[in-house]
Amino acid sequence: MESVLGTWDAADGDGAIVIEPAPGPLLGVDFSRGLPGLDDLATFVHPDDLAGLRRAVLDLLGGRSKAMIVEFRVRHADGNWIWIEASGRLKGKNLSGVWADISVRMASLARKDEAVSRVHQFAAAASHDLIGPLRHIAMYGDLLLEDFGTGTTQEKRQMLVTMAEKARQLQVLTKRLIAFSTGTAAPEFRAVPLDETLRDVSQMLADPLEQSKAKLSWGDLPTVTGDPVLIEKVFANLIANALEWAGGHSPEIQISASTSGSNAIILVADNGTGIDPRYATRIFDAFWSVPKQNGEKGAGLGLSVCKSILHALEGDIRLRRSSREDGSVFEITLPLNR
């Protein structure tokens, strides 16, 4: 757990800086002859962090800023690098602040970044493996339609047409996910009418919606700016989650929207089991999911993918309201089409 290690103060006039507790033993630096000046920072501060630290201190001392917060690595007495966060403020002509060892937090962030990187690598590899089978499904569907001609029922012909169309839709989505996961292509930004997006998603999820006797409805929705394939994926994930967490009764999913400045605010509300508010941020972490009553856990990627996609589209998602009785409400922010 992160903990504040001490404070520092600089009194005007005498040039002395008081640090409590004395960091010498921690940093392995000899302060018996006084505190180091800016020119001495290179002896114990990581080279990649040196310029930023110097700039923050000089701006504060020179009155160009009244407060600073800076993170940097220093060499520990055992030779390893540790992370320090130093914050300070200028009050009159006096400086004061706190410093903290944030090594645990930075290590956690590094592990999270590694996990996200692995998710992207996995998504790219899995998506690449799907391209071939999807192409064959679409091709075989077309061949069967040609062979049957009019020698089959209209219902069976429609089933083959739907199968081939779904396979082609998945091919497009898979190719976009490969590009998105590997960073080889930026999202396509264009006008996306959300009512059309929801119609496409409802058709895509027609079978699970029907099987669960779900009611999916939406009101007047704006046109936003973004990538239509990726936005469709976000709504498909949220609706699929609502079906999964219905809690044993018929799901009701309501989608509404409003505008705020240059953004559209879209609410996706359900009547499911809800999410404990203490998990409001964790649900967006890769590989983490709310445990079910039977102890099962999902892959923990659906909401993480949603957040990554929306950030790439200059938007965001958050859990706006949730309780075990009233279901959940997710708030999506996307830029309006101009």
Mean pLDDT over all residues of the chain?
78
For the cut 60, the answer to whether the pLDDT of residue 23 exceeds it is no
Query: Which residues lie across from 223 on neighbouring strands?
Result: 193
- For residue 34, what pLDDT is reported? 46
Between 296 and 280, name the one with better pLDDT: 280
Between 304 and 296, name the one with better pLDDT: 304
- For residue 281, what pLDDT is reported? 82
Place of tokens 């201190």: 57
For the cut 60, the answer to whether the pLDDT of residue 16 exceeds it is no
**pLDDT tens per residue across span 219-265:** 999 999 999 988 998 999 999 989 988 877 789 999 999 999 999 99
Question: Which one, of 253, 241, 255, 264, lies nearest residue 316 by Cα?
Answer: 264
Place of tokens 């996200």: 116
pLDDT band of residue 33 (cuts 50, 70, 90) is: very low
**pLDDT tens per residue across span 136-181:** 788 888 888 887 766 778 888 888 888 888 787 777 767 666 665 5
3-state helix, strand, coil in the chain (%, to 5): 45, 25, 30
- For residue 18, what pLDDT is reported? 61
**pLDDT tens per residue across span 180-195:** 555 545 678 899 999 9
- For residue 198, what pLDDT is reported? 96
For the cut 50, the answer to whether the pLDDT of residue 337 exceeds it is yes
- For residue 202, what pLDDT is reported? 93
DSSP one-letter string for 114-148: HHHHHHHHHHHHHHHHHHHHHHHHHHHHHHHHHHH
- For residue 283, what pLDDT is reported? 84
**pLDDT tens per residue across span 297-326:** 455 567 888 888 898 899 999 998 765 567
| % of the chain exceeding 70 in pLDDT | 70
pLDDT band of residue 128 (cuts 50, 70, 90) is: low
CA distance 175 to 98: 49
The mean per-residue pLDDT over the stretch 73-96 comes to 79
CA distance 151 to 4: 78
**pLDDT tens per residue across span 91-106:** 776 777 888 888 888 8
pTM recorded for the entire structure = 0.51
Residue 42 CB: number of other CB atoms within 10 A? 12
